[in-house]
Structure 1
Amino acid sequence: MDKATGLAAWRRSHGIEPAAVVAFGDAPADAPKLAWTGRSYSVANAHPIAAEAAAHRCAANTDGGVAEVVETILSDSVTVPVPDAAGGHLDGDP
């Protein structure tokens, strides 16, 4: 099993759409995974095959490129649930 097949099986088992998957890569073996994910990033020091397969670029892994992207994604998507009067959450989550 390659990385793309394993990641695809995992996302299907969790009901996640391909567009919601974020992947990073630097090697030729990452290219199939990078080609189908919704947001794919190659690091600046990636092999040319991985770089071509990815939709986006980030700083080198030695410069914290993956961490920078993950922090940005999380800060853009984090919401704080608002408790209702009964102590639950208005969005229906426990």
Structure 2
Amino acid sequence: MSKFGELIETNVPVLLDFYAERDSACKMMHPVLRDVAAALGDKARVIKIDVEKNTALAEALRVKGLPTLMIYKEGEMKWRQSGEQDATTLIDLVKEYV
């Protein structure tokens, strides 16, 4: 959990994607997140977190549906939603916190 704190305690927005490899909706989000990361460059970070390898963190954050996306800035959750999103929507959301 201390590593998680280090990830989200930044002054740039962090988009977290909680996913599972075997989930088809999560697999469909991979190229979308790649596009988001490319579009935002160093203005934000995109981090993927495998819920099967990070069960304690997923439980602590009450991640139920997959994929679950969250935006953090300076350690504070700014936005959260479960389900697929398109790249344009995610880019616009993250830009609100740049």
User: What is the TM-score when the length of structure 1 is the normalising length?
Assistant: 0.29
Choose 1 or 2 for highest CA Rg: 1
Instruction: Identify which of structures 1 and 2 has the higher relative contact order when contacts are C-alpha pairs closer than 8 Å and 6+ apart.
Output: 2
